[in-house]
Structures are given as C-alpha cells and as structure tokens.
Amino acid sequence: MQNNKRFLLLLFFLCFLFTACGFIFYSFWPRPPVSLINKARETISEIKSVKSDVYCADIYKLALENYEKAMFLWKAENKKFAFSRSFDSVTYYSQLAIEKGNMAKNRSLELSTGLKWYLRNQIDSVKGQKDFFHAIFYRLPLPESIQRQNTKGFLLLHEAEIAYDNKKYKLSEEKLVSAKESISYTYSYAFNLLNDYFLNSQQWQDMARATIEKSYKKKCTAIVVDKFSRSCYVYSAGKLKYSFIVELGPNWMADKRMKGDKATPEGFYKVTKKIAKPNTRYHKALLINYPNDKDLEQFNRAKQQKIIPENAHIGNLIEIHGHGNQGADWTNGCVALKNEDMDIVYRESIVGTPVTIVGSLKPINEILLMPEME
Amino acid sequence: MKTKLFLAVVTLGAVTFFTSCNKVPVGDIDLANAAVDSAKAVDAEHYAPEAFTALQDTLNAALQLVEEQKSKMFGNYTVVKEKLAYVASQASVVKEQAVVRKAEMKTESDTLFAELKSLIDENKTLISKAPKGKEGKAALEAIQAEISEIETTVNDATVLYNSENYFATVDKLKVAKEKAISIKEELSNAISKTKK
C-alpha cells in the first residue's frame, strides 16, 4: 500500500515535471517569422508574374537575393540547438525581400504600361513612315542594298508587332529599335536622293509654264511629261485636255547624258516624226529631237570634264510610244504609254508639237505632303 | 524493479514520440527537386511557362514548409510529403506539356520552312515570267532584293531552329511568309495584267 502510494506520487511528479518542462520548452522555443517568409515568397512569385525580371531586373534580383538569404539563414538557424536559434536576420531579410519586391512590382507595372503605350505609338509611327516610304519613294531607283535594308526593316517591324501582340514588350522594343534603324537609314538615303533630284524644281515649273503659254498663244497642242508623277499632259490652246500615266527608263531620275544610260532626257523638245506600224515596234511613236542644242552642249562639256567616257555617244531615237502599262520603268529613256492613250496622243500631235519633259511639276514640299501617290 | 521498468517504458515512449514524426523527408525533397529539374531540362520554362512557374512556386512553398517544420518542437512532415509528392507528379505533367508544345512548335517551324521554300521558289519562277519590257528590270530588281532579304530571314530562322528556339523561329518565319505571299500576289497581278 505504502509502495503504491509512493509509486503514484512518483507518477504524478513525473507528469507534472513533464508538463512543466513542455510548457517551458514551448514558451521559450524560438519561432521563425513564417508568415513573413510566406509573404516574401508570394511577393517573389507575384513580381515574376508581372515580369519584373524583365522590366527591372536589378530590383527583382535584389528582392530574390534577399528572399534566398532569408531562406538560407533560416536553414542555418534550424541546424543549431533549438534554444540558441535566432530568427532576427531571417525577419530582416524577409522584410527586405518584401520591400524590394513591392518596389519591383510597382516599377514593372509602371514600366510595362509606359512601354506598352510607347511601343504602340512607335509602331504606328514607323508604320506611317513605311507607308510614306512606299507612297513617295517606292519607285525611286534605289540600290539593292538599300532595298534589302528597307525590307529587313519592315520584316523586323512586323516581328515587333507580333511580340507586342504577345505582350512581350521588351522583345518588341528590341525588334522595333532594329526596325527603326533599318527604315530610318533607307528613308534618309531616299530623302537625300529626292532632295538632290528636286534641285531644279523651279526651273522645271518655269519650263512647263512656258510650254503651256506657248500652247495658249499659238493655239496649238503641247505635251508636258512629268517624270516624277509618271504623267503625260496634253494641252490644247493652253488648256489641259488629257493626262495619261507613263513609264520611263529605269534610270529616270537622271537627266539623259549619253547613249545607254537608260535616262529620260529633260528639256524643250518637239515632235520630229510620227511613226505608225509597221515602222515601229511600239504600236505608235512620236520621235522627238533629242539631242537638241542644249543636250549637245551639255554632252560635250561632260566629255571635256571627263564626267563621261571619251568614246561615249550622246544617243538618239527618244520617242513617246506605246506598249506602256507594264508596271515598271523599262524603256531605254523613251516615254511609254498604254496603246489606247498613245492613240490619243498620236492623234492630237503633229510634227512640230512642243514636248517638254521635266523632273516634276510640283515642288518637293508639295510632293512630301501628298498622302498618296499613284 | 517495477519503477525502473516503468521509467524505461516512459523514456522509450517519449523517444519514439519525439522521433517518429520528426524525420525530414530528404528522399522526397530530392525526388521533387529532380522532377522539377527534369521539367526544366525539356525547356518547360519556355514551352509551358505558366505551369512551370506554378510548379516552381509549389516546390518553393513545400521547401519552406520543410524549414517551418524543422523549426517546430514537434515537426510533422505529413503535409510536406504530400506537397512534395504533388510536385513530383505535377512535374511529369508539366514536362509532358512542354515536350508536346515543343514538338508542336518544331512541326510548325518545319511546315513554315517548307511553305517558305516553296513560296520563294514560286516567286523566283514568277519573276522570270514577270513583264520586263525591253530590258529594264528595275521593279523586278526591287522584288528580287526583297526575296533575297526573305532568304536571309530564313537563314536567321534556321540558326534559331538549330538552337531549338522554336517560338522565335515561328515568329520570324511567319513574318517572312507574309512578305513572300505579298510578293507572290504582286507578281501574279503584274503577270495577269500583261496577259489581258
């Protein structure tokens, strides 16, 4: 009985000791900042979803590093004896990770929204430049390297658009920068070419005006060819009667200097011969008096200055003829019209009809303002 | 004697109690990590990005839970084990998704390569049939330049294809294909115009 009592007492004492120890252990057991680390992890996950690693990689990296440091320190503390653990540094780095994460999130949202807006505007702007290029410069005789550069720019622009649609704004930006570089280069090349071409603009307008006045005064037909707009205007007694689309030589931007340069001459000419089938391969033709005195003078001067080879020939047989509408500048310097149009021009003209060929009837500023060109 | 026996039983019970649930599931962690790595190895990051991010998040949460349990007086790894098992099984799903998507993109790239090759060949044939007039080729030269640039794009796409970057390959080829189609239309129109 006495033994039983002692045993029960011991049992009670052990239970009490065990509970007391458990309570002390529990009270003093160091607790890690679980909710804070959870929040840090969630923040890291969240900022990745808003592509902070793309938009503000440096802040994202800082947030991630702090989270990883917190985790590393937590693991290190867990290896220690329970009561010597301290989670202060874990708390510190978790808080830092959250702070940097929030910063990265806000910055990413700000940047992605801004970039999205910027990209949309830039893509539209470059597309406008592309349309402008096609409308104004498409038919300029540009070298192959420029054509390729231009095509490359447009392909990159399209890639930038695809990336934009897929919400890959950084990639879109990269593509857009390359696209702009290519397109701007070709654009400025073409623009300079155009500027050089239009140096004689005022003279061309004066020549056209003089021809129309002549037609008015002499009550005769006069033909004015505008190389840039690919137009042939037929005036009768100073009034515009017809206008037709023409095709020229591939080197149409140049003033003809010599045989084989595939340039269409500029100047005052007149019809010297009317040629119909079977004497022409081109439906009907009006032969003009190229080279005139001015052309000869220019040719000889160029030869003296050694701008053209010594054995160069000035060329001849420049005509306004049919077989046009081929969709290209294909002649050797002649002016080609559609056969139906040529019938009219042929009918309206006589030997001696003035033919004035100019680079453009409009000044460059008007050309560049034109929204569309045929 | 009775007391000593009792104490021994109590001690053994306490030791069993403290150690039974307290084992870190190292094997499960290694398995889950290896599963995620195997998903990464098949480019799941690129070909199943959302699923892979979710998988990585789940793994991170599980690893965090491991530390949480380690920090406790009586760590319980039952939930952790479940989470790690889920990660391992989900990793296979993500891996499968990535493999399928990658194969799809590869097939799409192959199709686009074939289509573009045929379009380029067609365009080259059309160029030879296109109206040239006397001998001028200015317009056709411009188109030829465009075709050359498309060929360059195809070469660039081949480099991307060889590095298994199928998304970028497809994007590049799609753009080139569109351009090739527009050239084909332009040439066909020019040819039909002269036939009239």
Q: A78 to chain B: which residues are within 8 Å by CB?
A: 67, 70-71
Q: Please list the alpha-helical segments (H only) found in chain B.
A: 2-20, 26-41, 44-47, 49-71, 78-129, 138-162, 166-195
* In a shared domain, residues B32 and B96: yes
Q: Please list the alpha-helical segments (H only) found in A29-143.
A: 34-49, 52-55, 57-79, 88-132
* In a shared domain, residues B106 and B162: yes
Which residue of chain B is at minimal alpha-carbon distance from A166? Answer: B171
* In a shared domain, residues B84 and B159: no
Structure tokens at A67: 């989270």
Radius of gyration of chain B (CA): 32
* In a shared domain, residues B48 and B113: no
Q: Does some domain include residue B155? A: yes
Calculate the alpha carbon distances from B44 to A252, A255, A261, B39, B95 in Å.
Answer: 57, 63, 60, 6, 6
Does the distance separating the beta carbons of B71 and A45 come in below 8 Å?
no
Average pLDDT of chain A to the nearest whole number: 89
The beta-carbon contacts of A159-168 under 8 Å, at least 24 apart in sequence, are A159/B171, A159/B172, A159/B175, A160/A119, A160/A123, A161/A123, A162/B171, A162/B174, A162/B175, A163/B171, A164/A116, A164/A119, A164/A120, A164/A123
* In a shared domain, residues B107 and B188: yes
* In a shared domain, residues B129 and B173: yes
* In a shared domain, residues B169 and B143: yes
Q: Does some domain include residue B12? A: no
**Boundary residue ending a domain (B101, B132, B158):** B101
The whole-angstrom separation of Cα B104 and Cα B109 is 9
Enter the ipTM: 0.74
* In a shared domain, residues B110 and B189: yes
* In a shared domain, residues B185 and B122: yes
The whole-angstrom separation of Cα A344 and Cα A346 is 5
* In a shared domain, residues B118 and B35: no
Owning domain of residue B78: 24-101
* In a shared domain, residues B30 and B80: yes
Distance from CA of A324 to the nearest CA of B (A): 9
Does the distance separating the beta carbons of A37 and B194 come in below 8 Å?
no
Instruction: Give the one of A75, A78, A327 whose C-beta lies nearest to B131's C-beta.
Output: A327
Q: Does some domain include residue B19? A: no
Q: Would you give the DSSP letter of residue A286?
A: E
Structure tokens at A95: 């808080």
**Boundary residue ending a domain (B84, B101, B118):** B101
pLDDT at A46: 92
* In a shared domain, residues B145 and B163: yes
Q: Does some domain include residue B31? A: yes
Q: B148 to chain A: which residues are within 8 Å by CB?
A: 144, 148
Give the count of domains, chain B. 2
Does the distance separating the beta carbons of A48 and B53 come in below 8 Å?
yes
Mutate to test the interface with A, among B1, B5, B147, B149 (most CBs of A within 10 A): B149
Q: How far apart are the first and last CA of chain A?
A: 122
Beta bridge partners of A357: A225, A267
Q: Does some domain include residue B122? A: yes
Q: Per residue of chain B (196 residues), what is the pLDDT tens digit? A: 666 666 666 666 665 555 555 688 999 999 999 999 999 999 999 999 999 999 999 999 999 999 999 988 888 999 999 999 999 999 999 999 999 999 999 999 999 999 999 999 999 999 888 766 543 456 677 788 889 999 999 999 999 999 999 999 999 999 999 999 999 998 888 788 666 5
Which residue of chain B is at minimal alpha-carbon distance from A84? Answer: B71
pLDDT at B136: 43
Does the distance separating the beta carbons of B2 and A49 come in below 8 Å?
no
Residues in chain A, pLDDT under 50: 371-374
The whole-angstrom separation of Cα A66 and Cα A71 is 9
**Boundary residue ending a domain (B101, B117, B146):** B101
CB contact burial A19-56 (16+ within 10 A = b; e otherwise): eeeeeeeeeeeeebbbebbebbbebbbebbebbbbbbb
pLDDT at A122: 92
Calculate the alpha carbon distances from A68 to A71, A88, A99, A105, B55 in Å.
Answer: 5, 15, 14, 18, 18
Q: Does some domain include residue B6? A: no
pLDDT at B170: 94
